[in-house]
Amino acid sequence: MPQAESGIISLYGNSPRMKLLDYLMTFPKNEFTPPEIVKAVGMSRTTAFREISKLLDNEMILQTGNIGKSPTYTVNIKSPMIYSMQKLVSHRSKKNATSQIKNQTLQKYLKDQLDSIDKLYNRETMLKTELKLTRNMIKEIQV
């Protein structure tokens, strides 16, 4: 079964930077080392360091400390850009959920209507059969 695309990826694309940011935003209270990010996101170490550097420059992530010699990073939830991204993803998610609910409601309504039509068709068929039998009985009585 294919994995559902995150809101960040669906809105901003699946570039290495967005994949990295999406991962960090998924776990906003956690801190990750570059090797953990590389493994989780599936990118080369060189790409990870390049993207981390750009995200640090834009204050979208923070270096929070070190584990051994490896620095640790987390998403900067106070960043206006991160806040805007979260709001946009939230808005889009709500819009999609509302649309899905409307579609489900419409599908149920249509199903109910089709069921009613089927019942009416079956009733019509039964009445036609009864009418035919009644006519035959009347013909037999007249003969």
For residues 33 and 35, what is the distance between their CA atoms, to the nearest angstrom? 6
Structure confidence by residue, pLDDT tens digits, 87-122: 888 787 777 777 777 778 778 878 888 888 888 888
CB-facing half-sphere around the CA of 90: CA atoms within 13 A: 7
Angle of the 16-26 helix axis to the 45-57 helix axis, nearest 10: 70
Given a cut of 90, whether residue 6 has pLDDT beyond it is no
**N- to C-terminal Cα separation, the chain:** 70
Q: What is the pLDDT of residue 111?
A: 84
C-alpha 133: how far from its chain's center? 57
**How is the chain split among helix, strand and coil, in percent rounded to 5?**
70, 10, 20
Q: What is the pLDDT of residue 2?
A: 43
